[in-house]
Amino acid sequence: MDQTIVEIKKMNYKFGSTLALSDISLEIKKGDFLAIIGQNGSGKTTLLKLILGLYESEKSQISLFGENLTEFNSWNKIGYVPQKAIHFENNFPATVEEVVEMGLLSGKKNPKIITKEDRVKIANALKEVDMLKYKNRRIGNLSGGQQQRVLIAKALVSHPEILFLDEPTTGVDTETQCKFYELLKNLNSKGITIVLISHDIGRITKYVTKIASLNQRLEFYGSHEEFCAWDKKHSHAKSHTHNLCPNL
Ligand X SMILES: Nc1ncnc2c1ncn2[C@@H]1O[C@H](COP(=O)(O)OP(=O)(O)OP(=O)(O)O)[C@@H](O)[C@H]1O
Residue 46 touches which member of Mg ion, ligand X, none, C-beta under 5-8 Å by kind: ligand X
Q: Is 17 in the site for ligand X (CB under 6 A)?
A: no
- CA nearest 242: which of 210, 213, 202, 208? 202
Binding positions for ligand X, 34-73, rule CB under 6 A: 38, 40-46
In the bound state with ligand X, the residue whose beta carbon lies nearer, of 104 and 214, is 214
Task: Compute the distance between CA of residue 220 and CA of residue 19 in angstroms, rounded to an integer.
Answer: 19
Q: Is 20 in the site for ligand X (CB under 6 A)?
A: yes
In the bound state with Mg ion, the residue whose beta carbon lies nearer, of 124 and 170, is 170
Q: How far is the CB of 238 from ligand X (least distance, A)?
A: 19
Task: Compute the distance between CA of residue 161 and CA of residue 171 in angstroms, rounded to an integer.
Answer: 27
Burial of 81 (0-12, 13-18, 19+ CB in 10 A): buried
Residue 239 touches which member of Mg ion, ligand X, none, C-beta under 5-8 Å by kind: none
In the bound state with Mg ion, the residue whose beta carbon lies nearer, of 54 and 248, is 54
Q: Is 198 in the site for ligand X (CB under 6 A)?
A: no
Give the type of residue at 180.
F
Strands (E), the chain: 4-15, 18-29, 33-37, 62-64, 67-68, 78-81, 162-166, 193-197, 210-215, 217-222
Site residues for ligand X per CB under 6 A: 15, 18, 20, 38, 40-46, 83
